Each structure stands twice: as C-alpha cells, then as structure tokens.
C-alpha cells in the first residue's frame, strides 16, 4: 500500500495510537501533520520521524487552534486529503459522583472537536478531489466496564457520527469511517490520573485471557487498520473493530 502524495492530519499524533499512525503513514509515503497540546513532545516525535512529519501544537477544543492545524496540514502537504481524529481523553468515575462540567469537557474534546475539525477539513478535501476522515471509537462500546460511562458515551457518539457524516459527505467524495481499537498500552489512562504507566500496562496485560488472539495490541496493529481505512476507496460509514477479539466477549481460563 502506498500513500505517496497524500496529506494527512493526525490529531493526538504526539503519543500512543496517533504517534503509531503518524509513523506508519510516513513510512508509506504520506506527508503527515501531527497535533497535540504538548509542543515539546510533538516536536520530538516529528523530529524523530523526519521531514515527512510536521508538528502543529494546539488544543482541539479551541477554534483558532483547529483552524491553525488545518492550515498547517494544507501548507505541509500542499493540500489535505485525510483527517484522523485520534485525540481524546479518558474520564472515569461512578455515576453518583461525576461532575457535569467534567463530562462536558470530555465530550468537547472527544466528540465536538472532531466534528468541528471535520467541518473545517471537508472543504479542503473536496477541493483536493476527495478524502477520508477517521474517527476513533473504543471497545468500551462493545464491552461494558463499570465507571467508564462518560468515556464510553463519547465513543458511542463518534461511531454514530461517522455513519451520519459518511452519508452527508459521500457526495463530496469524502469517506468517513470509525476505527474501534481494543486494549493497547498508551498514555490515555496515565494522563487521566488513573494509573501510572506500569500499572496501566499490567492492567491491560491482565486482560490477555479475554483475547482470542492471545495478546493485547500495539500501536502498529491500529496503524495498519487506519492506513487501510484511509485508502479503501469503497469503504464508508464502516465501524472496524481491531482488538484481537476482545469485543467477542470470550474469556479463556
């Protein structure tokens, strides 16, 4: 699979799955722009990948920053034909003690920002002759984990969004799909203050018995699927579960 000549914006490209996707797409020949709030981290990743990768620091919940991200990607790649809405945050807690303001914050980052970015990216993609948008769902919409209601609700929302926007943007030559990852050790739970990196990895490794494929995932497992959805020209409105079988709900003991 070649992505020569493609220009892709990857939000959350400074860590975890977004970083893995940025690395893989650049390996395939794309020009990739990565975004995130931590400029130093972002610059380090872009510097390590090389000139194919460009960093634009910013916050996806801020309109001016979103516009700068889109403009940065158009400038870096010469046009824009892919938007990968990877950035998201975890919010966990029992329903009896969740604060509405914090729930709104996580919806703002996980749902509203990706919608707004898609709205800004669509005219650029149409001008480029078409494109592809990818949203990130989660296995949390397939298996129910007590305490994860805010996060799971945002992930259910983007899955529906991908279907509606696929219908809306298809006539403009823009495909919209949702990738649904399973358990991959990243910073997601660490940034949310739930576990340190080691405890987070151990917790996910403790779920190996729930995986028919016998292991948890890597960023590359997800990046391969992202590249497929960005290039599969007749696939739109699809939800692709990439989780080693975790969502099948089997436990091997």
Ligand X SMILES: NC(=O)c1ccc[n+]([C@@H]2O[C@H](COP(=O)([O-])OP(=O)(O)OC[C@H]3O[C@@H](n4cnc5c(N)ncnc54)[C@H](OP(=O)(O)O)[C@@H]3O)[C@@H](O)[C@H]2O)c1
In the complex, minimum distance from the CB of residue 216 to ligand X, in angstroms, rounded to a whole number: 8
Single out the residue of 71, 75, 89, 156 in contact with ligand X (rule: CB under 6 A).
Answer: 89
Single out the residue of 43, 61, 93, 126 in contact with ligand X (rule: CB under 6 A).
Answer: 61
In the complex, minimum distance from the CB of residue 81 to ligand X, in angstroms, rounded to a whole number: 21
- Return d(Cα 201, Cα 127) in angstroms, integer: 43
Q: Hey, what are 123's tokens?
A: 């005219």
Query: Within 10 A of 206 (CB to CB), how many other CB atoms are there?
Result: 11
What is the phi/psi pair of residue 180, to 5°? -120, 95
- Return d(Cα 91, Cα 110) in angstroms, integer: 11
- Return d(Cα 239, Cα 165) in angstroms, integer: 13
The answer to whether 67 contacts ligand X (rule: CB under 6 A) is no
Whole-Å CA distances, 189 to 157, 185, 193, 198: 20, 9, 6, 11
**Active-site annotation holds for 151:** yes
Nearer to ligand X, 63 or 78 (CB): 63
Size of the chain, expressed as the number of residues it contains: 253
The answer to whether 72 contacts ligand X (rule: CB under 6 A) is no
Asked if residues 178 and 240 have their Cβ atoms less than 8 Å apart, the reply is yes
Number of residues that bind ligand X (CB under 6 A): 30
Single out the residue of 3, 10, 106, 109 in contact with ligand X (rule: CB under 6 A).
Answer: 109
The answer to whether 186 contacts ligand X (rule: CB under 6 A) is yes
The answer to whether 88 contacts ligand X (rule: CB under 6 A) is yes
Which residues of the chain form contacts with ligand X (CB under 6 A)?
11-12, 14-18, 35-38, 41, 59-61, 86-89, 109, 136, 138-139, 181, 183-184, 186-188, 191
């Amino acid at each position: 699979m070649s992505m020569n000549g493609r220009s892709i914006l990857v939000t959350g490209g400074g860590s975890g799955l977004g970083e893995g996707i940025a690395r893989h797409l650049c390996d395939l020949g794309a020009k990739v722009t990565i975004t995130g709030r931590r400029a130093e981290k972002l610059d380090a990743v872009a510097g390590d990948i090389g000139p194919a990768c460009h960093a634009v620091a910013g916050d996806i919940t801020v309109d001016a920053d979103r516009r700068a991200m889109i403009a940065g990607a158009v400038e870096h790649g010469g046009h824009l034909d892919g938007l990968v809405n990877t950035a998201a945050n975890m919010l966990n807690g029992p329903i009896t003690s969740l604060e509405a303001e914090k729930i709104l914050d996580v919806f703002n980052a996980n749902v509203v920002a990706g919608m707004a970015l898609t709205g800004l990216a669509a005219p650029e993609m149409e001008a480029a002759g078409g494109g592809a948008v990818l949203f990130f769902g989660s296995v949390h919409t397939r298996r129910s984990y007590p305490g994860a209601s805010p996060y799971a609700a945002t992930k259910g929302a983007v899955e529906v969004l991908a279907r509606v926007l696929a219908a809306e943007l298809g006539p403009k030559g823009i495909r919209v799909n949702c990738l649904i990852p399973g358990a991959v050790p990243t910073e997601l739970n660490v940034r949310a203050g739930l576990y340190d990196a080691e405890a987070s990895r151990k917790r996910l490794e403790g779920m190996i018995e729930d995986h028919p494929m016998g292991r948890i995932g890597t960023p590359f497992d997800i990046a391969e699927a992202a590249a497929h959805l960005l290039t599969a020209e007749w696939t739109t409105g699809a939800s692709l579960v990439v989780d080693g079988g975790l969502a099948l709900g089997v436990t091997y003991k």
